[in-house]
Homo-oligomer: A and B are copies of this chain.
């Protein structure tokens, strides 16, 4: 044990030790049953006389804070812990550098988040989430797989593995992508801590603070938060029913010379639209002409319920133009925190090394379990099953909206993915709607968070239509309808 002692302090050493331990026990940070070091040991650790430690211990024992089991040592006794002292609250005594921390947009939309957390309804229904329905994932099978892997690999399952990710899992990913029409080599796959880390690695490797990144407007709020936190200059190209308006892209490339184009070509977050085939080819051409890499976020690319599929941008890449990012979080389970990127050319090796300096590696255990569980056939079956269910849920939400929401609502039914993007009538504000909705027991993601200029999204909101059963969807949208009518009545 390493107790701070001040030999200049007039307070005797035994008292300093006693006070330190007393404070720990009363504050609860020294838990009951914690074994204090043997007095000889602590005396040696602290370079004091053994008697000094014994005096401190017996003072504590006299106050009933510790007790000693003969031959086994001194143990902390249960006590009524004082409330924990958290130092995170604002405080003038913080050093100057703490009072002037860079904001980096990290405070963004705290209000909205806070509001969401304080939902008080007995049975709230949230359409705000960004993930799919994890109840569809057979947790029990996965438990058995974890068992099998630990039995099979023992301690190896818990060691650093290949820094690019567990090789058999990269093989499986290559096979799954091929079954989706994207043929790549496992040598081009890098396993990451979810797709979010992939976005962070790529953008931080290719850009420095002050550099310009081009995104769609609107776009995934988690990407905006990331790019703001990294102090990038962010410019945008609007999205329409065909995805990014690539015809407006060239002018931006000429004017601002962005270092990276971030796009979500399939079932775009939040709008749910898909980039048309013609625009995909155009995008690749522009990326070539202006020497700009493309970061393709394909977070639910294969979750299509109807309509014509377009090839991944990566499948149109003549080589080294597109970095393709995807994840198992949406299709399977968020908590796995396993995503991946596909890159070719020198940038792949740089990304592997950059990942390494950032967190050394991603948990090998989860990767092995995932590899053991996810065969191509199983993945395809899970995908078919989920698509069938989500298709019905999308339709259920469209019907419920027709039934319960006032005329003037604008929606463009998505052909797949997770999200339905809705515009409120009469310039009603989604931010104003949220508290009313929450009081009705329903929750959504206001549009403002998905725009560079939050005002641009004021009338928009995003609904996750895959996460609840059709019954809950009907109920939730009915509540939303009530909230909208209340807002109309007071507007």
Contact = CB atoms under 8 A, between A and B. Distances in A.
Interface of A: 1-5, 20, 23-24, 27, 29-31, 33-35, 44-47, 84-88, 90-91, 93-99, 101-102, 104, 106-107, 131, 134-135, 137, 139, 142-143, 146-147, 150-151, 154-155, 157-161, 174-175, 177-188, 192-194, 196-197, 200, 204-206, 208-209, 222, 225-226, 229, 231, 259, 287-288, 291-293, 301-302, 304, 308-312, 315-316, 318-321, 333-337, 344-350, 353-354, 356-366, 376-377, 380
Given A106-B350, A143-B151, A200-B359, 4 more contacts: A20-B181, A29-B177, A34-B175, A101-B346
A64 B377 CA distance: 20
A183 B82 CA distance: 13
A151 to B, nearest CB: 7
B35 A310 contact: no
Given A350-B101, A350-B106, A377-B33, A96 B159 contact: no
Given A335-B161, A337-B363, A347 B101 contact: yes
Contact of A345 (B1, B94, B102): B94
Contacts of A161: 335
B196 A193 contact: no
A185 B358 contact: no
14 contacts: A2-B302, A2-B311, A3-B181, A3-B315, A5-B311, A84-B185, A86-B185, A93-B320, A94-B320, A97-B292, A143-B151, A146-B150, A229-B357, A337-B360
A221 to B, nearest CB: 10
Contacts of A361: 335, 337
Contacts of A177: 29
Nearest to A85: B185
A312 B2 contact: yes
A87 B320 contact: yes
A196 B380 CA distance: 36
Contact of A196 (B187, B302, B357): B357
A45 B287 CA distance: 26
B30 A178 contact: yes
B179 A159 contact: no
A347 B88 CA distance: 8
A455 to B, nearest CB: 23
A383 to B, nearest CB: 11
Contact of A178 (B31, B143, B380): B31
Contacts of A188: 86-88
Contacts of A175: 29-31, 34
A175 B225 CA distance: 34
Contacts of A354: 104, 106, 229
A288 B95 contact: yes
Contacts of A97: 206, 259, 291-293
A298 to B, nearest CB: 10
Contacts of A226: 357-358
Contact of A183 (B30, B101, B196, B357): B30
From A44, A345, A380, residue with most partner B Cβ within 10 Å: A345
Contact of A366 (B84, B259, B320, B365): B365
Given A1-B180, A365-B335, A45 B158 contact: no
A83 B146 CA distance: 32
A53 B84 CA distance: 67
Contacts of A357: 106, 196, 200, 222, 225-226, 229
Contact of A135 (B34, B150, B155): B155
A232 to B, nearest CB: 12
Nearest to A133: B155
A248 B373 CA distance: 56
A417 to B, nearest CB: 14
B304 A45 contact: yes
B337 A362 contact: yes
A267 to B, nearest CB: 12
A69 B208 CA distance: 54
B346 A364 contact: no
Contacts of A31: 175, 178-179, 376
B33 A196 contact: no
Contacts of A287: 95
A1 B182 CA distance: 9
A126 to B, nearest CB: 13
